[in-house]
Amino acid sequence: MRNYTQFYIDGAWVDPVAPQTAEVINPATEAVSGTIALGSPADVDRAVAAARRAFASWSVSTVAERLDLLRSIQAVYTRRMAELGTAVTEEMGAPIALGQGFHVGLGAGHLQTAIEVLESFRFEERKGPTLVLREPIGVCGLITPWNWPLNQVTVKVFPALATGCTAVLKPPQLAPYSAQILAEILHEAGVPAGVFNMIQGQGSVIGAALSRHPDVDMISFTGSEPVGIQISKDAADTVKRVGLELGGKSAWIVLDDADLAANVAAATGGMMVNAGQTCSAGSRLLVPNARLAEALEAARAAAEAVAVGDPQGDVGMGPVVSKGQWNVVQDYIRKGIAEGAELVAGGPGRPEGLEKGFYCKPTVFKATNAMTIAREEIFGPVLVIIGYDDLDHAIAIANDSPFGLGGYVSGQDRDLAIGLARRLRTGAIWVNGGFDFHAPFGGYKRSGNGREWGEHGFHEYLEVKSIIG
């Protein structure tokens, strides 16, 4: 049983101003796994004041000093990776192999990337008669979600520190453990007092207080569109910068070639990773109508091959994060059936033999792009397959979405695939797989604004100053 009832403020673990706690539920067992403190606006005031004081010195620290700190963090992070993976599995139900692997690896990758970028980043450059400076924006409020808890925290914290900003982190209430351990790592690594602060609690309380706070210069938020809109409104009165990475309903276009069945199977399996709780997941799979039957069979077989169960075991998919999220997924599945979508695999309810835990069936529908399950982000293991007549039709379907976060194209003709990728109105597109920590990540349209990852992530935390003459 974990008991995290203090916040990290000004270089020390401190009690909340007004002690209040909440239980954390293990999604695999539905049992209480621990307790966290819930913060208040008074705690935000303390953390922001500490960050503001620390900014005076950290903002003028040298690149060498910041690199030393990041490398010290890296050494401690590496030593505690197993603990972090265990925490991720316990807090949000990721299978142990995924928690110890990709979840923890993403955090390590963002840390290494911040080091690589900082080593060569140009904070000053001459443009004719003008000296252009890139300076830290100030105190940053970082608000993160539960679905990839280490990824979302580290992709904000490390660039913020690397650029000379100070930060107040509000981790997700549903998945708070890995952030708590990360705060311990930063403390052990020697982060100066006030440079990094962390308050656990409710987003409606802590997130709102950070967004409205006059001494917070920037908010970086990853989460749902409605919350992102509210944060933007809350931040407007103080004209602070707001970076938003919101929802997605990404299209995955499979080309008509000899690899179609294998690509459909890969896309289906990919949708079920992390129980479908990935904002950039390829949740709309577009396949040629001429081979729709073949594609549906490949998807059905792939979905039924996904082993669902106790995340401590050798499984491909664990539970979704909470009872509330389980209900959301079930409602969408029932809505898909009610609207006439063809159920190819899965369906409502828990998988057979799993009576406890927030487990969903890997579900596949054949649908149209007009149906609710093709328009709205489900955030669960539900794949929608849509047929297209030709590639112009595929592009039209893919772009017919209020979102524009991710996209995928799979096929043997790489040049053709890249040509299609150019036509997709979305922020990041994977052509036949691949991965790059330096690639900018962020959304078009209602998927948000700004970019994270790599060098582009640094620019989110910098102001530009011109010294002319």
Question: What is the mean pLDDT of the segment spanning 277-288?
Answer: 98
Question: pLDDT tens for residues 327-338?
Answer: 999 999 999 999
Six-digit token string for 201: 């609690």
Contact in structure between 385 and 365 (CB atoms under 8 Å): yes
- The rounded distance, in Å, linking the Cα atoms of 285 and 296 is 10
Residue extents of the structural domains in the chain: 2-246+447-468, 251-437
Q: Residue 393 burial (CB < 10 Å; 0-12/13-18/19+)? A: middle
**Beta strand pairing status for 403-404 and 32-37?**
unpaired
Question: pLDDT tens for residues 1-36?
Answer: 999 999 999 999 999 999 999 999 999 999 999 999
**Residue 34, helix vs strand vs coil:** strand
Strands (E), 249-313: 251-254, 284-288
83 is catalytic: no
Alpha-carbon distance values, 398 to 198, 300, 352 (Å): 39, 22, 34
Question: pLDDT tens for residues 71-98?
Answer: 999 999 999 999 999 999 999 999 999 9
Contact in structure between 415 and 396 (CB atoms under 8 Å): no
Q: What is the pLDDT of residue 88?
A: 98
Q: What is the pLDDT of residue 27?
A: 98
Residue whose token pair is 């316990």: 90
**Residue 292, helix vs strand vs coil:** helix
Q: What is the pLDDT of residue 150?
A: 98
Q: Which amino acid is at 17?
A: V
Per CATH, the number for 251-437 is 3.40.309.10
Res. 459 pLDDT band, cuts 50 70 90: very high
Report the half-sphere exposure of 82 (CA within 13 A, side-chain side).
Answer: 1
Q: What is the pLDDT of residue 183?
A: 98
- The rounded distance, in Å, linking the Cα atoms of 158 and 65 is 14
Helix ranges restricted to H, 163-291: 177-189, 208-212, 225-236, 260-272
* Selected catalytic residue, list 245, 377, 452, 460: 245
Question: pLDDT tens for residues 140-197?
Answer: 999 999 999 999 999 999 999 999 999 999 999 999 999 999 999 999 999 999 999 9
- The rounded distance, in Å, linking the Cα atoms of 227 and 84 is 27
- The rounded distance, in Å, linking the Cα atoms of 179 and 176 is 6
Six-digit token string for 133: 């400076």
Q: What is the pLDDT of residue 17?
A: 97
Closest CA to 458 of 24, 156, 153: 156
What share of residues in the chain are helix, strand, coil (percent, to 5)?
Answer: 40, 20, 35
Q: What is the pLDDT of residue 331?
A: 98
Alpha-carbon distance values, 466 to 115, 135, 318 (Å): 26, 11, 51
Contact in structure between 268 and 285 (CB atoms under 8 Å): yes
Question: pLDDT tens for residues 329-379?
Answer: 999 999 999 999 999 999 999 999 999 999 999 999 999 999 999 999 999
Homologous superfamily of 2-246+447-468:
Aldehyde Dehydrogenase; Chain A, domain 1 (3.40.605.10)
- The rounded distance, in Å, linking the Cα atoms of 250 and 362 is 18
Res. 133 pLDDT band, cuts 50 70 90: very high
Q: Which amino acid is at 81?
A: M
Question: What is the mean pLDDT of the segment spanning 122-143?
Answer: 98
- The rounded distance, in Å, linking the Cα atoms of 173 and 37 is 10
Task: Give the dihedral sign, CA 273/278/284/286.
Answer: negative
Question: What is the pTM for the complete model shown?
Answer: 0.97
What 3 state SS string does 88-133 have? HHHHHCCCHHHHHHHHHHHHHHHHHHHHHHHHHCCCEEEECCEEEE
Alpha-carbon distance values, 48 to 57, 166, 469 (Å): 15, 9, 36
Average pLDDT, the chain: 98
**Residue 335, helix vs strand vs coil:** helix
